[in-house]
Amino acid sequence: METKRIVLYLNQFFGQIGGEDKADTPPHSVEKAVGPGMGLSALLPKNCTIVGTIICGDGYFNENLEEASAAVRQMLEEFAPDVVIAGPAFNAGRYGMACGMVGKIAHEMGIPAVSGMYPENPGVETYRQYLYIIETGNSAASMRTALPAMAKLAGKLANNEPVGSAAEEGYLSRGIRRNVFVEKRGSERAIEMLLKKLKGEPFETEYPIPHFDRVEPAEAITDLSKAVIALVTSGGIVPKGNPDRIEASSASRYGKYSIEGIDSLTSDSFETAHGGYDPVYANDVPDRVVPVDALRHLEKQGRIGKLFPYFYSTVGNGTSVANAKKYAAEIAQELVNEGVHAVILTST
């Protein structure tokens, strides 16, 4: 059989050059399998060989998208692969966005690509139409199940074998609709599904709809003049210099910052870390995103009881739902423990 060339894309961690301290590493390549590539090599068909690995820091790729993309494109041209494998990225947002962009670059070059991500990774929704994304768990603990599925699909693509449906192959829906011929027409299939649903029998819809959480609102506060109010934002306002290194996109953390004795957030002391909107006006007057000045005014008037002495901040740009829920649960529990009665949530 003809030998097929596979190129792997990895971030700094899985590329074995370091952790967050190496997230600013520019793209470079090595002519061998690295990290997860070792496992993939043993799982790929015998005629498929990983001829190289491209490694780039998550921070660098997302903050220098044009430069990183151009470098990756050039490396792919030099390697001339039959298939590109990116990741798996699991639920790491910045890594997923980078893997998705690598898949898009490969798509534009006429090269099929495979990745692996948790369904809530922002890379899925942004790039799923350009590559096949195997569904994984939300952490590297699911590596053992992710790699065999990725290798199997990559092998099929490399050898021009037919690729089955998302359900058959284990990849996430690509949002691409194709006409197919079936034995029964739509009305018959719809009635059959309805009857199964009415009987409580299992059935599979042909058109899944998105599921969104419904949160019941809390009871209204009857007396704001006695209430403790806290500020929480996804607008990325942080102390000057961004001491917690909150990412401009796909944030992996949030910060808690003191406003004790502060009547207004000034440009001398605060700025935004957000990479999804023009920062000029937020940097000029941070109160536009976190309205400490307005709440201090209400506090002095006695219209609210007290402004909580800390605000919490992260970046909503590309941040996964799972991470957002995690941050919310931690922040909410702390605010409840501190006796806070209400929270004002600000975005951009």
Give the integer Cα–Cα distance in Å for 97 and 91.
Answer: 10
Number of domains in the chain: 2
Provide the pLDDT for residue 210.
67
The domain spanning residue 24 has which CATH number? 3.40.50.2300
Mean pLDDT of the region 226-252: 93
Q: What is the CA radius of gyration of the chain?
A: 24
* pLDDT higher at 217 or 250: 217
Question: Which pLDDT tens digit goes with each residue over 48-63?
Answer: 999 999 999 998 998 8
Question: Which pLDDT tens digit goes with each residue over 85-136?
Answer: 998 999 888 899 999 999 999 999 999 999 999 988 889 988 999 999 999 9
Give the integer Cα–Cα distance in Å for 286 and 134.
Answer: 41
Give the integer Cα–Cα distance in Å for 144 and 138.
Answer: 13
Query: Which candidate, 72, 171, 157, places its Cα nearest to that of 116?
Result: 171
Tell whether 23 and 143 lie within a shared domain: yes
* pLDDT higher at 22 or 256: 256
Of the three residues 150, 169, 188, the one that is the final residue of a domain is: 169
- Residue 217 resides in a domain: no
Token match 């008037």: residue?
301
Strand partners, 133: 115
- Residue 215 resides in a domain: no
- Residue 207 resides in a domain: no
- Residue 185 resides in a domain: no
Tell whether 239 and 144 lie within a shared domain: no
Tell whether 125 and 20 lie within a shared domain: yes
Mean pLDDT of the region 263-272: 96
- Residue 204 resides in a domain: no
Domain that holds residue 329: 224-346
For 329, the token pair is: 């649960």
